[in-house]
Amino acid sequence: MSLTPEATAAVLTQALPYIQRFSGSTVVVKYGGSAMDSDHLAGFAADVVLMHSVGIRPVVVHGGGPQIGEMMDRLGLTPTFVDGLRVTDAETLDIARMVLVGRVNRDIVSAINVHGPLAVGVSGEDAGLLQARVRHPGLGFVGTVDSVNTTIIDRLLDEDLIPVVSTIGSDSTGQALNINADTVAGTLAGALGAAKAVFLTDVEGLYADPDDPATLISETTPVALEAMIAAGELAGGMIPKAEAAVDAVRRGVASAHMVNGTTPHVLLLELFTDAGVGTMVCPDSDQEQETSP
């Protein structure tokens, strides 16, 4: 159903103060999971371009778990996960590198560039963007970020371009490592001084009871999230998302958001409306005092 001119004007009026507030700010968007299928990619790309058009500086960080799983299945390989992280041997690393850098990254870049020559694909290996080390020997070639060199991202943003980052990093010897995309998004948001980090997932946000969508947590803090993780109240892929949101806020990002990426225009709803959607992670009160000017 199309909006009347009056309703359209009302929506634009509501969006205006948010556009003014975030214009010139960097927003890191983690794109992954079910939201990455072809039915949602075009809408996601259009929303990112709209953000860019009103002065926001979007940085897209993408995963590709379903696509990696699909390729492994075609090759007769069975994936193993520990706390939501894929165990990555040498063969799996080659597959992840091929899928993330060679396929998923190109698909996102192409979808954005339908709207103009805006997006540039970047791997975490490029220009030393993501320096990493092995997270745990039992996980194989899975990395954790040691340091972030934002030079290449800063230059792209200064050229009014949209970086699209695939999350293969490298250690000090040049060995490639597969890094969880949520982890990278949180760390990169902090390094860039982003105003927001938005994590797109396939559920509405965090639930107090994982089996009951009615228990959606609209707002929480790092301390509360860490308590949930320690108590075993989160499972699977929600653990790295929650940890990444905590990390982003602790690194100075004003807020982190976990939202359902399959909801049409969810980025615009989160950024430009009064209601907002999903789960928002805000600084603890003591952190606010420490980071306030």
Backbone torsions φ then ψ of 33, nearest 5 degrees = 65, -150
Which entry of 32, 33, 84, 124 is annotated as an active-site residue? 33
Which entry of 30, 121, 169, 247 is annotated as an active-site residue? 30
Which entry of 32, 43, 63, 65 is annotated as an active-site residue? 65
- For the question of residue 33 being annotated catalytic, the response is yes
Which entry of 107, 205, 241, 247 is annotated as an active-site residue? 241
Look up residue 282 and give its two tokens. Answer: 């805000």
- For the question of residue 196 being annotated catalytic, the response is no
Which entry of 107, 121, 124, 182 is annotated as an active-site residue? 182
Active site residues: 30, 33, 65, 182, 241
